[in-house]
Amino acid sequence: MKINLTQTKEVYNFCEPYIIAELGSNHNGDMQLAKKLIIEAKKAGADCVKFQSWSKDSIFSKVKYEENCFIGDDYRDRDDYTLEEIVEEFSISESELMEMKKICDELKIDFASTPFSKKEADFLVDALNAPFIKVASMDLNNYPFLDYLARKNKPMVISTGLSELYEIDKAVKTIEEAGNRNIIILHCVAIYPPKDEEINLNNIESLQKLYPDYPIGFSDHTLGTAIPLASVAKGACLIEKHFTLDKNMFGWDHKVSATPDELKTICEDSSRISKALGTFRITSIESNERKNEFRRSIVTAKEIKKGDILKTEDIDYKRPGIGLSPEMDQFVIGRIASKDMPSDYIITKEDLA
């Protein structure tokens, strides 16, 4: 069973994970591309597509635009875009979000977006009735914002990249104190992409132990499908993965995003893995017929005459397991044969005096 993001009070760790195709700004400001991304995410099997709701004014301050540099992208030496221009082009408006929500409703795939301001959060909840609020790693220590979001009374999915444990703990307590206990916590490394040794999937288990009342998921920025699938074996109840149609497309996150084929692999194989994890109860599930077919019985190693006393060298162990089990060898050894038995004969209790 998948986690229900409209009601997360019950812990769903080790369930079939809910898959979010993170579109972010991979639509590059083009709503036709955005529509194609939604369609392909649905085809791949994703449960949800998620945008990022920000504007030129809600994401950066003026000093950042004056600096004209963002992480690995330095716009000071470019003649095609300034940082301010590309932020404005890649942003998505309220009317465009409304349009994308309608498309998602028609295709029966969940719609969500990460708000970067109170105004954007209000629109997502009040106008679009988004099923949950996603909090970006950059806002995990923005406690006034978390308090505001928590009071929207929507389930909250919080990413923990960039954060120390005390910051995660304070974020959870801030949300709880605002009266919201519908929280999903995502292990996250805010490096694009991280090295394998930087991922620390064991943190999923750590978060499960630290926050036993809340489901734990994984927000992934790795290349390929191996790491998000490995997170399922750790019990991740939700996987968030950047999604693109072409890794070579112009834009910020395309290179670390999953293609349609990769997203399909994540969706299908995560379901298989969650089913294969099964329970923590050690017991066989094979039928008795199958057990008998594979297991061994005690058989005669040579011809036995009536009245012979059976010795260790008189018996062997062969399939099928329809006679006496090998564990009954001490019951057989020392007993008297009640009839003649040919070599390779499956011994029964009735054959022994």
Q: What is the 3-state secondary structure (H, E, C) of the chain?
A: CECCCCCCCCCCCCCECEEEEEEECCCCCCHHHHHHHHHHHHHHCCCEEEEEECCHHHHCCHHHHHHCEECCEECCCCCCCCHHHHHHHHCCCHHHHHHHHHHHHHHCCEEEEEECCHHHHHHHHHHCCCCCEEECHHHCCCHHHHHHHHCCCCCEEEECCCCCHHHHHHHHHHHHHCCCCCEEEEEECCCCCCCHHHCCCHHHHHHHHHCCCCCEEEEECCCCCHHHHHHHHCCCCEEEEEECCCCCCCCCCHHHCECHHHHHHHHHHHHHHHHHHCCCCCCCCCCHHHHHHHCCEEEECCCECCCCECCHHHEEEECCCCCCCHHHHHHHCCCEECCCECCCCECCHHHEC
CATH code of 230's domain: 3.20.20.70
pLDDT given for residue 300 in this prediction? 98
Average pLDDT, the chain: 95
Say if residue 237 is in the same domain as residue 99: yes
Say if residue 307 is in the same domain as residue 267: no
Q: Of 73-87, 105-119, 128-142, 162-176, which gets the smallest average pLDDT?
A: 73-87
**Domain endpoint, select from 231, 257, 277:** 277
Say if residue 230 is in the same domain as residue 309: no
pLDDT tens digit string along 52-100? Answer: 999 999 999 999 999 999 877 888 888 899 999 999 999 999 999 999 9
**Domain endpoint, select from 215, 248, 277:** 277
CA 175 to each of CA 85, 140, 178, 242, 342: distance values in angstroms, whole numbers, following the listed order:
35, 11, 5, 26, 77
Which residues partner with 2 through β-bridges? 16
Looking at the chain, the whole-number percentage of residues with pLDDT higher than 90 is 89
pLDDT given for residue 9 in this prediction? 66
Q: Of 60-64, 183-187, 203-207, 277-281, which gets the smallest average pLDDT?
A: 277-281
Q: Of 1-10, 182-191, 216-225, 238-247, which gets the smallest average pLDDT?
A: 1-10
Average pLDDT over every residue of 333-351: 97
C-alpha 158/C-alpha 171 separation (Å) is 9
pLDDT tens digit string along 224-255? Answer: 999 999 999 999 999 999 999 999 999 889 99
pLDDT given for residue 6 in this prediction? 76
Instruction: Indicate whether 86 belongs to any domain.
Output: no
Say if residue 105 is in the same domain as residue 170: yes
**Domain endpoint, select from 235, 258, 277:** 277
Say if residue 163 is in the same domain as residue 304: no
Residue 217 has pLDDT above 70, yes or no: yes
Q: Between 231 and 282, whose confidence is greater? A: 231
pTM for this structure?
A: 0.89
pLDDT given for residue 8 in this prediction? 67
Looking at the chain, the whole-number percentage of residues with pLDDT higher than 70 is 99
Confidence of residue 284 (pLDDT cuts 50, 70, 90): confident
For the chain, what is the domain count? Answer: 2
Say if residue 166 is in the same domain as residue 299: no
- 152 touches 133 (CB < 8 A): yes
Say if residue 134 is in the same domain as residue 248: yes
Average pLDDT over every residue of 106-117: 98
Domain interval for residue 32:
18-55+91-277
C-alpha 92/C-alpha 153 separation (Å) is 24
